[in-house]
Amino acid sequence: MWRCPVCHAALTPHERSWRCASGHAFDEAREGYVNLLITHQRRQRLPGDSPEMLRHRRSFLEAGHYGALAEAIEQRLPAGHLLDAGCGEGWYSRRWPEQRPGSIVWAVDIAKEGVRLAARRAQRSGSCHYAVASVYDLPLLDHSMDAVVNVFSPVHSEEIARVLRPGGVLITATPGPEHLLGLKRHLFEQPELHDGAGPLDAVAAVNDAVRKVDSHRLHYVITLSSEDEVKSLLGMVPYAWYVDEATRTRVENLPRLETVVDFVVSVYAW
């Protein structure tokens, strides 16, 4: 299902590389992923989340705090060819072949370190394929995916419409109004709420080709019971970028933290 990022022809595997009919070739890394992010798609030397943020996110997610979110996504996930657009370290989509037997996962992220971590953890599973790529220029053939899933990542509706098969769906997870409010109260004097709107609500309102078919709000409290867990949460979100070092250090040293997590899971169809 990969397509060449240069000429947009289909890529086929040849030993440890992927090649198109025009002769463009992309080698697989030893972890099993392929880098399909070409020079003009890069806006910085190391695009995407930093290695430190990815490691914090992996630690936090593997503790199970967002398990209910993963289940809510899986309940709405069809079987077939599934794209994780903005996969990060791959925690969500690694579960899908088991939850939807016979399905094949195609996962992309612009952060090379995230894709490397995801591919290494998947241990060369024939059911999961990983590429470094931009969600604004997906390296996938037209109308090849049964579903696209986007968890806290940018959404580019034209690219999603291009890669979805007729009847395919986009599933998004975005912050609800009170997401991480307990954490933000430790960081900011007047924490702001999220608006809670779905990423394609405005598009669906003016474009008859896009329909919002489901929306589910998931709202519950988590308890972090160690400094390490609090540090992992703080390290994986951007809020700490907007506070001074003393505030960040104070919050990192909290021995316990209770906070609401608030998600909106939306389903769009074309």
CA-CA distance, 36 to 134, in Å (whole number)?
9
**Using 50, 70 and 90 to split pLDDT, how confident is the model at 220?**
very high
The owner of tokens 């896009």 is: 210
**b/e 123-136 (16+ beta carbons within 10 angstroms → b):** eeeebbbbbbbbbe
Looking at domain 12-269, its CATH class is alpha beta
125 or 116, greater pLDDT: 116
CA-CA distance, 107 to 122, in Å (whole number)?
11
Q: Where are the domains of the chain?
A: 12-269
Q: What is the pLDDT of residue 266?
A: 97
Residue 103 has pLDDT above 70, yes or no: yes
Share of the chain above pLDDT 70, in %: 95
What is the Cα Rg of the chain in Å?
A: 19
Average pLDDT over residues 79-83: 98
Share of the chain above pLDDT 90, in %: 85
CA-CA distance, 117 to 218, in Å (whole number)?
28
Q: What is the pLDDT of residue 49?
A: 81
Average pLDDT over residues 184-198: 93
CB 51 within 8 A of CB 113: yes
| Furthest C-alpha separation in the chain | 58
CA-CA distance, 249 to 83, in Å (whole number)?
38
Q: What is the pLDDT of residue 44?
A: 47
> What type of residue is 139?
P
The owner of tokens 């992927």 is: 18
Residue 10 has pLDDT above 90, yes or no: yes
Residue 52 has pLDDT above 60, yes or no: yes
Rounded to the nearest integer, the mean pLDDT of the chain is 93
Residue 137 has pLDDT above 80, yes or no: yes
CA-CA distance, 24 to 252, in Å (whole number)?
47
Q: Is the pTM of this model over 0.85?
A: yes
Q: What is the pLDDT of residue 241?
A: 87
Please tell me what DSSP assigns to residue 110. S
Q: What is the pLDDT of residue 205?
A: 86
Residues 6+ apart with CB under 8 A from 188: 239, 242, 243
Cross-strand pairs, 150 = 172
Q: What is the pLDDT of residue 206?
A: 84
Q: What is the pLDDT of residue 196?
A: 86
- Phi, psi angles (nearest 5°) of residue 7: -115, -5
